[in-house]
Amino acid sequence: MKIHSLEKWERCELAAQLIRRRLRTFHVKDLLNLPEAEIREIHRMVHGSSPSPGGRRSSLYCCRTRWDQQRLSLFVLLYREVGGTNSLRKPIDSRTLINSFDLFQDICPNPGFDLTDAWLLLSDHLKGDIALIACRICGIEYLQFPHADIPISCPFCELKSRRTSRANDDQDRII
C-alpha cells in the first residue's frame, strides 16, 4: 500500500486503531473515506486474516435489557463529554469514538458491547432512530429505544427502585 501524504497516513493509522478495536471494515470506510481494498489490507496487517463477512446490525441488537439501556446511555453520555457539547449533532468523530470507548472500557471492563455497537448507537442517534432524553424524576439523560422490547422510561430510576425494593424485602426478612 502506497501512502502519498501525511493526511492519508494519519487516516490509515486511525483505520488501524479502529480495526484493532474490532470496528467492522464498512464502518471504518464510512468514517475515514478510505478505499475498501486499503481497509481490507490494513485488517490483514492488524489481525493476520481477512475481515469476516457480515451485514450491518441495528443498535436494537445491543439493547435487550434495562441494564443494557443503562450502559449504552452511559457510553453515549461519555462520548458527548469527551467530544464536546455538540458532538452528538455532528458526524461521528473517529478519535472521539476511540477515546470515549477506551475510557468506557476502563470504567466498565466487560461492557457487553464492542466498538461496532458503539458506532451503531451513535449513528442511530444521529439518524434520529434513538433519542437521548432527560428523565423528569432523576434528571439523568438516557437513550430511548422506541422499537426495543423494554419499557419507555428511565432505566436509572427503574434499577434504583428494584434495588430499593430488594433492600426492603431483605429488611422484612430480618424482622
Alpha helix ranges (H) inside the chain:
6-20, 25-32, 36-47, 66-83, 94-107, 115-127, 155-174
Q: What is the largest CA-CA distance in the chain?
A: 75
Q: Are strands 131-134 and 141-144 parallel, antiparallel or unpaired?
A: antiparallel
**Residue in this structure with the C-alpha cell 486474516, named with its chain if needed:** 49
Work out the mean pLDDT of the chain and round it to a whole number: 87
pLDDT band at 35 (very low <50, low <70, confident <90, very high): very high
pLDDT band at 70 (very low <50, low <70, confident <90, very high): very high
Mean pLDDT, residues 51-61 taken together: 75
Closest alpha carbon to 143 in 73, 60, 79: 73
Any idea what DSSP says for residue 61?
G
Mean pLDDT, residues 87-108 taken together: 95
The grid cell for 60 is: 436494537
Closest alpha carbon to 17 in 39, 48, 50: 39
**Residue in this structure with the C-alpha cell 432512530, named with its chain if needed:** 129
pLDDT of amino acid 111: 80
pLDDT of amino acid 56: 66
Alpha-carbon span 130 to 152, nearest angstrom: 11
58 or 169: which leads in pLDDT: 58
